[in-house]
Amino acid sequence: MRVRRRRFNDVPDPAGNGLLDRRVFLKGGAGALTAGAFMAFASSDAKAAPGEAPAGMKVPGAPLSLYGSPATFEREVTRTLIRSQPGTTGAGASRTPLEALEGIITPSGLHFERHHNGVPTIDPAQHQLLVHGMVARPLIFTVAALSRYPMESRIHFLECSGNSAVMFGTTPPAQTCGQTHGLVSCSEWTGVPLRLLLAEAGVDPRADWILAEGADAAAMSRSVPMAKAMDDALLALYQNGERLRPENGYPVRLFLPGYEGNMSVKWLRRIKVTDTPTMTKDETSKYTDLQADGKSLMFTYPMEVKSVITRPAPGLKMTGPGLYELSGIAWSGRGKIRRVEVSADGGQTWAETALSAPVLAYALTRFRIAWKWNGAPTVLKSRATDDAGRVQPTRDEFIAQNGANAIYHYHAIQAWRVESNGEVKNVYA
Amino acid sequence: MRVRRRRFNDVPDPAGNGLLDRRVFLKGGAGALTAGAFMAFASSDAKAAPGEAPAGMKVPGAPLSLYGSPATFEREVTRTLIRSQPGTTGAGASRTPLEALEGIITPSGLHFERHHNGVPTIDPAQHQLLVHGMVARPLIFTVAALSRYPMESRIHFLECSGNSAVMFGTTPPAQTCGQTHGLVSCSEWTGVPLRLLLAEAGVDPRADWILAEGADAAAMSRSVPMAKAMDDALLALYQNGERLRPENGYPVRLFLPGYEGNMSVKWLRRIKVTDTPTMTKDETSKYTDLQADGKSLMFTYPMEVKSVITRPAPGLKMTGPGLYELSGIAWSGRGKIRRVEVSADGGQTWAETALSAPVLAYALTRFRIAWKWNGAPTVLKSRATDDAGRVQPTRDEFIAQNGANAIYHYHAIQAWRVESNGEVKNVYA
C-alpha cells in the first residue's frame, strides 16, 4: 500500500484566501498527503508507547441497556428553547444545535419543535383519522388500520417557514448557528402515501384541496392542494426507524416534502376533501408573507434553496491559524442540491465544495471544503444552487425583493465573520 | 387530479400464493386503485363527521424539551438483553427489535450492543489515540485534534459476525425476529478517513497490517489489513448526526464498512502499524469459524449477503386474510443489494420486491412487496442478491458448506411460517 506524495502547495487554489480544491482529500486523488501535512493537530512523540492503561480499562464497564442515551459529556448538546408565548411552556419552538452536529440525519431527540399549544398525549389505540368531505365514502382509520397499508421510506428535511426569521432584523442577532438556523432538521420518514387513502375513499373529481387538522389543543389546520396530496404526501408513522416521537406528531403526521413545516400537520386527526382552500386561522393570521407594499402572499409552499456553514459557526471557536475543514448543510424545497460554493473573502471569490453522497431530493445535503486560515479576520459565506437552477440571494437582494416585514421564508446567503482571536460572529456582509 | 381506476385483479401475479407485482402501489403506475380496494382496514361511515374533540385537544399539551424521548406508549420497543456471561452485566449483547422498526436508519437508542467487558466511561477531554509501530513518526491525537481533520459521512450497517448464530442449532429457536437477527443495525457515521492519519504518521512501505485496540476493560483488539485501512476505514466521531453513543464507542471508534462488527473497534485508543497480523486473543480464541472438518477459518472479514422479512415476523401477528405489505431488510458486506425476492409458498416460486431508495453500499436496504394472504398456513422467505452476484443460500446449503460448528457469519435464507390463526414462527423449511 503506497501513499502518493503530495503537499497542499501542489493543490490548485480554486478561490482566494486559502480555500483548497474540493478533491484534495479524496482517496487516490490529489489528496494523498506527505507525512506531517497536518502535524500541528497531533502530538509527535518518537518514544510514544501504549503506556499504562487508563483507569476505565481496569474495571468492568457499564451494563447493556434497553434504550440508550447520549454520553453525559454531551449534556450541553440540546435543543435551544425559545418560547414565543410568555407564560406558556408548549407554545413556541426549540431549535436543533446545528453547530454540534455532522452528516445529514438529525437525531430525533434533537429534531426542532414548533408547537402552537404544546404536545398532546395520544394513545395510539384510541386515535382515529377521519377522511371525509368530497369523497365517495367517508372513512375512519385507526393506527392499526393505517399500519396495514403499503409504506414508503424517504429521507427528507423539515423546515419551519419561520426559520432564520431573526435575520429580517436590522442588526444581526448575536446567536449560535442553531439559534438562527436550527428550525430545520432531517429524518428518515416512513409512512403511507396519502394518495392510497384518498383513492380508497374515492375523491370527487371536482375536489382540488384538502384540509388537514391536528389533534392538538391548537387544532392546527392547513389547506393543501390536491396535486400535492396525490403526489408525494405521506402519512408518516415512523421517524428514523422507530415510531414518531411525541413532539413530531405521534402517532401519525402528514408529511409534505419540501413544503413549509407547518403544513406537515402533526397528530393528524382529520382530512377533509374540499373544492377550495379552507382559509383557516393558521393560514390567514399566520404563515402568510407580508410584503413591502403591505400586501400578503398566501400559500407560499416550497421552502427556498438555502445553506449555512455549521463548522465553524457562532457557538464554536477557531483555534489558531492553519488547516480547517468548513462543513455545512444545504437544502431546497424545489428538489435536489446541485452545487454549494463557499467564499473565504466575504464573497469576492467562490470555490465549489464537495457534496457528501447521497444527495437526495428534499433532504439536507452535507458540503465540505478545506480552508487554510492565515489567522487574519475575514468573512465566510456559503451559496447553494438547486437542480431547478435557483441560487441563494444575498441578504440585500432578498430584502429588496421581499421587504423586511415578513417573518417567513428567509433564505439569504449567511455570512460568518471570523475574528483574529478565533471567535465567529453572525454579520450582515 | 384524476385517479386511474385499477383493481388488483388487473395486476399480474409474479409468483404464487398471492404475491403482487412490486409496482402495484407506485404513483401513476399499475397501482392506482379503485375506491374501496383496501376497505377492510378502514371503517366506512357515511355519516362520519369530526365529532367532539378528544380530551387531548381541550388542555394545553406538554412543554418543549431539551432532548426528546420516545412516546410512553412505545415503552416495550427496546433492545433485547442477552447476557452471554452469567453474573456480568456488561459482557454480552443487546439486539435491535427489527420487527418494530421501518426504513433503514436504526435509532441510536436501539442500535445493537456487543461488549466483552461493559461500556467504559471516557472523558473526551482526557482520551488519547496513539498511532505508532512502523511509522515515520508516532503521533498522539486528542479528540479535539481528530475533530480538526477532514471528515466523511456514510450510511452503513454494522453486523456482529455472531448475528443469527442460534440458527446453527438443530431446532429453530422460538424467538422474535430481532432476537434471531437483531445484531445488525444501520446508522449514518461521520468521521475522519483513517488513511489521512496514517499518511500523517508516515507508514513504512513494508507494513501490511494494523492493530486496533479499544480502551475498554477487555482491551478488545483486532488486526486489520492495511489495504482496508487505506481504503474506506473511518475513525467515526458521530452517529446519526450527534456524537457517538457510549455503547457505540464514544468518543471515537474504528469503522470498517461491510466487515464483521467486532473489527470496528470501539473506544479506540491505539493503532499500531505492523508487518503481520498480531494474532490477538479476540481473533484467535474468538471470531474464527470452526468448520465441519475441525479446521478454523481466520480473518473472514466481509459479512455475507443476507436478508430477513421484518413484517410479518415472529413478534408480530397477522390479523386475518387479506392484503398485507411484506417489508424487510437486506444487506451485504460485499457492496450494494441488487435484488431481493420473496416467496409466499415456501420457496417454490419467487417474486421480485421493490427496493426503497437510496440503495447504498454496505447499508441496509428496505424491500417491500404486497401479498394477498388467503388465510391458509404457508411459509414466507426472502432471498437477497448483491451487486457482486452473490445469492443467499438455503440453510441446508449453508450447513452443508460450512458445517454446524461455527457461530459466525450465518446468512442463510430465513423462513417464517404463518399459521392460520395469524401467528408467525421461525422454522427450518
- Spatial contact of A21 and A9, defined as CB atoms under 8 Å apart: no
Backbone phi, psi, residue B414, to 5° = -100, 135
A361 and A417 both lie in a single domain: yes
- Spatial contact of B115 and B82, defined as CB atoms under 8 Å apart: no
Count of CB atoms situated within 10 Å of the CB of B169: 10
- Across the interface, whether the CB atoms of B103 and A74 are under 8 A apart is answered no
Smallest Cβ–Cβ distance between B65 and the set A34, A152, A247 belongs to A247
What CA–CA distance (Å, rounded) separates A93 from B270?
A: 43
Burial of B427 (0-12, 13-18, 19+ CB in 10 A): middle
- Split at pLDDT 50, 70, 90, the class of B56 is confident
- Across the interface, whether the CB atoms of B79 and A65 are under 8 A apart is answered yes
- Split at pLDDT 50, 70, 90, the class of A332 is very high
Q: Give B-chain residues touching A155 at CB under 8 angstroms.
A: 358
Q: Give B-chain residues touching A89 at CB under 8 angstroms.
A: 60, 62-64
A313 and A274 both lie in a single domain: no
Q: Give B-chain residues touching A321 at CB under 8 angstroms.
A: none
Q: Cell for B242?
A: 450527534
Boundary-marking domain end, from A238, A265, A280: A280
Searching chain B, which residue's CA lies closest to the CA of residue A27?
A: B231
Residue B260 falls within a domain, yes or no?
Answer: yes
Smallest Cβ–Cβ distance between A64 and the set B94, B216, B227 belongs to B94
Give me the DSSP letters along B191-224.
Answer: EEEHHHHHHHH-B-TT--EEEEEESSTT--EEEE
Backbone phi, psi, residue B148, to 5° = -85, -15
A374 and A419 both lie in a single domain: yes
A253 and A333 both lie in a single domain: no
pLDDT at A36 over 90: no
What CA–CA distance (Å, rounded) separates B251 from A74?
A: 10
Smallest Cβ–Cβ distance between B35 and the set A67, A148, A200 belongs to A200
Searching chain A, which residue's CA lies closest to the CA of residue B38?
A: A200
> What letter represents residue B191's amino acid?
G
B5-8 CB contacts, 8 Å cutoff, 24+ apart: B5/B32, B5/B34, B6/B30, B6/B31, B6/B32, B6/B33, B6/B34, B7/B33, B7/B34, B7/B37, B8/B33, B8/B37, B8/B323, B8/B372
Rg (C-alpha) for chain A, rounded Å, is 24
Count of CB atoms situated within 10 Å of the CB of B192: 24
What CA–CA distance (Å, rounded) separates B92 from B197?
A: 32
Domain residue limits at A161: 128-280
CA distance, residue B242 to nearest chain A CA (Å): 5
The answer, yes or no, to whether the previous bond of B312 is cis (omega within 30 of 0) is yes
Q: Give A-chain residues touching B50 at CB under 8 angstroms.
A: 130, 132, 213, 269-270
Listed in order, strand segments (DSSP E) in A216-350 are 221-225, 234-239, 242-243, 253-255, 268-274, 289-290, 296-297, 306-311, 322-331, 337-343
A229 and A364 both lie in a single domain: no
What CA–CA distance (Å, rounded) separates A92 from B198?
A: 48
Smallest Cβ–Cβ distance between B33 and the set A78, A199, A244 belongs to A199
B124-127 CB contacts, 8 Å cutoff, 24+ apart: B124/A71, B124/A73, B124/B250, B124/B251, B125/A73, B126/A54, B127/A54, B127/B215, B127/B251, B127/B252, B127/B269
| Helix, strand, coil % in chain A, rounded to nearest 5 | 15, 35, 55
CA nearest B65: which of A69, A119, A162, A99? Answer: A119
Q: Give A-chain residues touching B120 at CB under 8 angstroms.
A: 56-57, 61-62
Beta-carbon-side half-sphere exposure of residue B295 (alpha carbons within 13 Å): 4
A139 and A243 both lie in a single domain: yes
Residue B237 falls within a domain, yes or no?
Answer: yes
Q: Report the CATH number at residue B269.
A: 3.90.420.10
A269 and A319 both lie in a single domain: no
Residue B158 falls within a domain, yes or no?
Answer: yes
A310 and A273 both lie in a single domain: no
Residue A27 falls within a domain, yes or no?
Answer: no
> What letter represents residue B11's amino acid?
V
What CA–CA distance (Å, rounded) separates A299 from A278?
A: 12
* Average pLDDT over every residue of B287-316: 94
CA nearest B368: which of A362, A193, A124, A248? Answer: A193
pLDDT at B1: 32
Q: How many domains does chain A have?
A: 2
Interface residue B266 vs chain A (CB under 8 A) = no
Q: Give A-chain residues touching B7 at CB under 8 angstroms.
A: none
Give the pLDDT confidence of B115-157 residue by residue, as tens digits: 999 999 999 999 999 999 999 999 999 999 999 999 999 999 9
- Split at pLDDT 50, 70, 90, the class of B44 is confident
- Across the interface, whether the CB atoms of A155 and B358 are under 8 A apart is answered yes
pLDDT at A11 over 80: no
Q: Cell for A95?
A: 431549535
Residue A36 falls within a domain, yes or no?
Answer: no
What CA–CA distance (Å, rounded) separates B147 from B107?
A: 24
pLDDT at A245: 98
What CA–CA distance (Å, rounded) separates B251 from B240?
A: 14
**Global confidence as pTM:** 0.96
Q: Report the CATH number at residue A355.
A: 2.60.40.650
Interface of A with B in 133-172 (CB under 8 A): 136-141, 144-146, 148-155
Rg (C-alpha) for chain B, rounded Å, is 24
A208 and A165 both lie in a single domain: yes
- Split at pLDDT 50, 70, 90, the class of A376 is very high
The answer, yes or no, to whether the previous bond of A358 is cis (omega within 30 of 0) is yes
Mean per-residue pLDDT of chain B:
93
Searching chain B, which residue's CA lies closest to the CA of residue A61?
A: B118
3-state SS assignment for residue B226: helix
Residue A45 falls within a domain, yes or no?
Answer: no
A195 and A267 both lie in a single domain: yes
CA distance, residue A393 to nearest chain B CA (Å): 28
Residue A231 falls within a domain, yes or no?
Answer: yes
**Mutation test of the interface with chain B: which of A240, A269, A327, A329, choosing the one with the most B Cβ atoms within 10 A?**
A240
What CA–CA distance (Å, rounded) separates A1 from A3?
A: 7
* Average pLDDT over every residue of B150-171: 97
Smallest Cβ–Cβ distance between B36 and the set A49, A74, A137 belongs to A137
Q: Cell for A175?
A: 446567536
A144 and A269 both lie in a single domain: yes
Residue B201 falls within a domain, yes or no?
Answer: yes
Beta bridge partners of B224: B210
CA distance, residue B292 to nearest chain A CA (Å): 33
Boundary-marking domain end, from A265, A280, A295: A280
pLDDT at B41 over 70: yes
pLDDT at A16 over 90: no
The answer, yes or no, to whether the previous bond of B251 is cis (omega within 30 of 0) is yes
A261 and A138 both lie in a single domain: yes
